[in-house]
DNA sequence: ACCTGAACACCGTTCAAGT
DNA sequence: ACCTGAACACCGTTCAAGT
């Protein structure tokens, strides 16, 4: 902070033209880094081409030499975060391995960069860097005997559950501190007075949420459900 | 369009001060209506205080007399769409009744206002008008013998799955036409060349998606899973 | 109680001109 | 190949002044 001040005071006036040979200040990855750091500090809504450029001490328009537009930049951030998923080594126990990948995904998307989570969950990202977790899950399922069509279906169901759950976690984290007491009481009261009988009855349970427990038990439920459907042994072709 | 031109040419110069008595041009619901209509026509990203105001032939700043800010306006739109869910009459068959509410939710959130879907799925809305579907689900579960804590857990798991699934449907609808052939082939090829073996293997299945089938079978899977856990009969208190 | 003029501090993006 | 000055067409929002 004081370091930044000193640098700002010493700053040479912005030079024009190509930068001095080897000193290629800017790059796509540097820009994505800056955007992610900005999101970590101030949230997604703080991202603008101008604020990102400010962080890099660069003219906003310079970004367009490395990134198509703001939308592409945000895609880049989402992709980067997914690429941070540390896919665990498979043990051979399909169910446990699936669970482990899901936990790693939650770790990267939610714990490491909580304020970038909505980006990751909300944007359709399918570029090279982000396919590793998908590949891991598909190969676990293949080894367990699921034909590709069935495996894709499992992936989609699990991913849908995870997206919904993590999205809920992500924006619960924003307004309230993780486990808030006062607001839980207020929310209970509000739900009680809503005029909806069943909502009123369940009010205290609706007002607070143990996110981790919710995630783990929901995931187990779904994995159990798929586990109880015996996968086809070796044959890939089926009647439909 | 020609009608608009004519009106625009005839338009009286904007009058100042309070409008002529009974003619209260503006209201919160009128503004939400206009925003929703705008979203239906041009998508969420087309919404600005200025475009909404233009649609109402009103000064942008006038909106602030009825709506706190743009964020509150978008909340209002999400709430309105949820309030459009037509909760079906319960038949007494808990499983079928749950399924019916979920289908109604999908109908309202996705079929009726597809371009507003992300708004509904993405914003935490808990105000009076949008609690009806939640109340319906909770009362179905209560009647089936689930104690409140368990019922809330079921709701959360099902809602997470629905959020993820409908979000996927919503932004698949945007880029591609519902069932695209050419792009499916292109996507298959791209996934094959990704260098990830399991992804390559499953490429044709990843490239296309029967959204309705995916939704229905996923939902059945989850409902089956909960169905196989016998609900506690009458007693609400348990050991934990 | 509700509207608007003037104004502020922002945006994303283009393009030609520089080195 | 990469940077920037000038510029365009937008934003959300405030506030005092009007009726």
List the single residue in B with minimal CA-CA distance to A218. B157
d(CA B222, CA A154): 12
pLDDT of residue B176: 47
Higher pLDDT, A230 or A139: A139
Inter-chain CB pairs, A–B, below 8 Å:
140
pLDDT of residue A124: 80
Q: Has residue A8 got a pLDDT over 90?
A: no
Digit-coded pLDDT (tens) for A99-109: 999 999 999 99
Q: By the CB < 8 Å criterion, does A117 face chain B?
A: no
pLDDT of residue B45: 94
List all residues 6 or more positions away from B48 whose beta carbon is below 8 Å from its beta carbon. Answer: B70
> For B68, which DSSP code?
S
Confidence class for position A11, pLDDT limits 50, 70, 90: very low
Q: Does the distance separating the beta carbons of A118 and B122 come in below 8 Å? A: yes
List all residues 6 or more positions away from A64 whose beta carbon is below 8 Å from its beta carbon. Answer: none
**Mean pLDDT computed over B48-59:** 95
Task: Say if residues A31 and A66 touch (Cβ distance below 8 Å).
Answer: yes
Q: Which residue has its C-alpha nearest to nucleotide C19's C1'?
A: A17
pLDDT of residue A173: 74
Chain D footprint positions (protein CB, under 7 Å) = 1-6, 10-15, 18-19
Q: Does the distance separating the beta carbons of B124 and A214 come in below 8 Å? A: no
pLDDT of residue B143: 95
Indicate the residue of A152, A160, A171 with minimum beta-carbon distance to B168.
A160
Q: By the CB < 8 Å criterion, does A174 face chain B?
A: no
Cα distances from B19 to residues B8, B30, B67, B157, in angstroms, run 19, 16, 18, 50
Tell me how crowded residue B208 is: count the other CB atoms within 10 A of its CB: 16
Q: Has residue A36 got a pLDDT over 60?
A: yes
pLDDT of residue A182: 67
Q: Is the CB of A66 under 7 A from strand D?
A: yes
Per-residue HEC secondary structure of B189-216 comes to: HHHHCCCCHHHHHHHHHHHCCCHHHHHH
List the single residue in B with minimal CA-CA distance to A171. B124
List the single residue in B with minimal CA-CA distance to A207. B152
pLDDT of residue A117: 96
Indicate the residue of A122, A198, A218 with minimum beta-carbon distance to B138.
A198
A56 Cα distance to chain centroid: 24
d(CA A153, CA B215): 10
Digit-coded pLDDT (tens) for A152-165: 999 999 999 999 99
A223 Cα distance to chain centroid: 21
Q: Has residue B172 got a pLDDT over 50?
A: yes
d(CA B124, CA B121): 8
Total-model pTM: 0.88
Q: Is the CB of B15 under 7 A from strand D?
A: no
**Mean pLDDT computed over A176-181:** 50
**Mean pLDDT computed over B47-65:** 95
Residues 22-41 of B with CB under 8 A from A: none
Per-residue HEC secondary structure of B131-144 comes to: CHHHHHHHHHHHHC
DSSP string, A106-123: HIIIIIISGGGHHHHHHS
pLDDT of residue B193: 92
pLDDT of residue A129: 79
List all residues 6 or more positions away from A177 whose beta carbon is below 8 Å from its beta carbon. Answer: none
Confidence class for position A219, pLDDT limits 50, 70, 90: very high
Least confident of A34-38, A138-142, B18-22, B128-132: B18-22
Show the beta-strand stretches assigned E in chain A. Answer: none
Question: A102 φ, ψ to 5°?
Answer: -65, -40
C8 C1' to B126 CA distance, Å: 35
d(CA A117, CA A39): 10
- A229 by DSSP, 3-state: which? coil
pLDDT of residue A54: 94
Q: Does the distance separating the beta carbons of A221 and B226 come in below 8 Å? A: yes
pLDDT of residue B164: 97
Q: By the CB < 8 Å criterion, does B221 face chain A?
A: yes
Which of B194, B199, B213, B215 should be substituted to probe chain A, the one whose Cβ sees the most A Cβ atoms within 10 Å? Answer: B199
Q: Which residue has its C-alpha nearest to nucleotide C4's C1'?
A: B16
Kindly list the residues from chain A whose CB atom is less than 8 angstroms away from the CB atom of residue B219: none
d(CA B33, CA B25): 13
Task: Say if residues B148 and B142 touch (Cβ distance below 8 Å).
Answer: yes
Chain C footprint positions (protein CB, under 7 Å) = 1-6, 10-15, 18-19
pLDDT of residue A19: 57
State the average pLDDT for chain A.
85
**Mean pLDDT computed over A168-180:** 68
Element containing residue A166 per DSSP (H, E) = helix A148-173
Which of B125, B146, B164, B195 should be substituted to probe chain A, the one whose Cβ sees the most A Cβ atoms within 10 Å? Answer: B164
Q: Which nucleotide is nearest to A24 (CA to C1')?
A: D2
A171 Cα distance to chain centroid: 12
Higher pLDDT, A20 or B110: B110
Kindly list the residues from chain A whose CB atom is less than 8 angstroms away from the CB atom of residue B217: 153
Q: By the CB < 8 Å criterion, does B224 face chain A?
A: yes
Q: What percent of chain B has pLDDT over 70?
A: 82
Task: Say if residues A93 and A132 touch (Cβ distance below 8 Å).
Answer: no
Please give the structure tokens belonging to residue A203.
Answer: 């009010």
**Mean pLDDT computed over A188-194:** 91
pLDDT of residue A41: 95
For the four alpha carbons of B208, B212, B217 and B219, in that order, the dihedral sign comes to positive
Indicate the residue of A122, A151, A214 with minimum beta-carbon distance to B202.
A151
pLDDT of residue B19: 57
């Amino acid at each position: 902070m004081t370091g930044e001040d000193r640098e700002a005071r010493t700053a040479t006036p912005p030079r024009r033209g190509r930068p001095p040979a080897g000193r290629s200040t800017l790059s796509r990855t540097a820009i994505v880094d800056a955007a992610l750091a900005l999101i970590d500090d101030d949230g997604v809504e703080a991202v603008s081409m101008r604020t990102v450029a400010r962080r890099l001490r660069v003219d906003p328009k310079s970004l367009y030499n490395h990134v198509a537009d703001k939308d592409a930049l945000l895609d880049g951030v989402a992709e980067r975060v997914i690429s941070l998923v540390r896919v665990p080594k498979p043990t051979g126990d399909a169910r446990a391995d699936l669970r482990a990948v899901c936990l790693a995904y939650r770790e990267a998307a939610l714990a490491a960069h909580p304020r970038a989570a909505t980006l990751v969950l909300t944007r359709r990202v399918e570029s090279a860097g982000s396919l590793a977790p998908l590949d891991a899950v598909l190969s676990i399922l293949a080894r367990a005997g699921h034909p590709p069509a069935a495996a894709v279906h499992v992936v989609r169901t699990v991913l849908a559950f995870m997206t919904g759950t993590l999205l809920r976690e992500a924006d619960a984290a924003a307004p309230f501190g993780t486990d808030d007491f006062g607001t839980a009481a207020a929310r209970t009261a509000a739900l009680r007075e809503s005029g909806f009988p069943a909502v009123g009855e369940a009010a205290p349970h609706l007002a607070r949420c143990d996110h981790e427990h919710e995630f783990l038990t929901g995931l187990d439920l779904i994995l159990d459900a798929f586990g109880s459907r015996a996968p086809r042994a070796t044959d890939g072709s089926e009647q439909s």
